[in-house]
């Protein structure tokens, strides 16, 4: 079974631009979560989507948004990019058979550089 | 609020040495899950193990073993006879219920970079 895939793998943008990242979960997985990884702040939870609805959200500004499609694929969008948004963005999917026992499986990430 | 502490920033060992990575957590939940992930240079987080708060039995998987002790809020990870391929950053993570939605997000420690020298 294919793992979590993320596109693109690398992205370079300039301040003020907006960006959209894509994530395809493992087949059959219905929950998708997004995390930001930076050297200073480490791994931080952005948001989680399930059945096309945002179910949980971390402490990030409104410039960060996402959505999930009916096939469970997810996108996240960052508007008005800032230098501090440079990071590795990781997507994770989970099965959701037993909510409390879910293991999140991660994709390879999208490395975003903001110049 | 939940918190995960990995006090060891970087560890360097020589191949075939045993190494233990420490993880200490804080949570108010009685039901929670603990995880270990490995992040090689490629960047992808690789799932290693999940442990629920009601199961304190230690686990061994090949050269890997985990020691979960609720009394000290620790979930330590030992690699026996380390190999160069074990070089990576290892993250400990905690999952507990979100009070408002009941959903969970992973709280990660800061990671321990393990360098295994040949």
Residue A95: predicted pLDDT: 85
Shortest alpha-carbon distance between residue B99 and chain A (Å): 10
* Number of DSSP helices (H) and strands (E) in chain A, helices first: 0, 11
Partners of A55 on chain B (C-beta within 8 Å) are 101, 103
Shortest alpha-carbon distance between residue A56 and chain B (Å): 7
Alpha-carbon distance of B39 to B108, in angstroms, equals: 12
The DSSP-derived string for A34-52 is: EEEEETTTEEEEEEEEETT
Residue to test with chain B: of A104, A107, A113, most B Cβ within 10 A: A104
Strands A64-68 and A53-57: what pairing?
unpaired
Instruction: Phi first, then psi: give them for residue B75, nearest 5 degrees.
Output: -145, 85
Residue to test with chain A: of B45, B89, B100, most A Cβ within 10 A: B45
User: Would you call B47 and A103 a contact, using CB atoms and an 8 Å cutoff?
Assistant: yes
Which parts of chain A sit beneath pLDDT 70?
97-101
Question: Is A56 touching B (CB cutoff 8 A)?
Answer: yes
Is residue B101 scored above 60 in pLDDT? no
Residue B98's pLDDT band (cuts 50, 70, 90): low
Residue B100's pLDDT band (cuts 50, 70, 90): low
User: Would you call B45 and A106 a contact, using CB atoms and an 8 Å cutoff?
Assistant: yes
Per-residue pLDDT tens digits for B48-59: 999 988 888 888
């Amino acid at each position: 079974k294919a793992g979590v895939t993320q596109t693109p793998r690398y992205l370079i943008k300039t301040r003020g631009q907006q960006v959209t990242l894509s994530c395809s979960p493992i087949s059959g997985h219905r929950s998708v979560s997004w995390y930001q990884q930076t050297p200073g702040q480490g791994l931080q939870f952005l948001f989680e989507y399930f059945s096309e609805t945002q179910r949980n959200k971390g402490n990030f500004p409104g410039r960060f948004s996402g959505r999930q499609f009916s096939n469970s694929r997810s996108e996240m969008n960052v508007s008005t990019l800032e230098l501090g948004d440079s990071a590795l963005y990781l997507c994770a999917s989970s099965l959701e058979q037993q909510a409390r026992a879910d293991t999140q499986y991660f994709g390879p990430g999208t490395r975003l550089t903001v110049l | 609020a939940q918190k995960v502490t990995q006090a060891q920033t970087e560890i360097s060992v020589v191949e075939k040495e045993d190494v233990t990575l420490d993880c200490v957590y804080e949570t108010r939940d009685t039901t929670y899950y603990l995880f270990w992930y490995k992040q090689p240079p490629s960047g992808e987080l690789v799932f290693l193990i999940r442990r629920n708060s009601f199961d304190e039995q230690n686990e061994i998987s090949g050269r890997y073993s985990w020691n979960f002790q609720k009394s000290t809020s620790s979930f330590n990870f030992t690699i026996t006879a380390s190999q160069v391929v074990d070089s990576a950053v290892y993250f400990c993570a905690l999952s507990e219920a979100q009070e408002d939605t009941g959903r969970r997000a992973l709280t990660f420690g800061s990671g321990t970079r393990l360098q295994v020298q040949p």
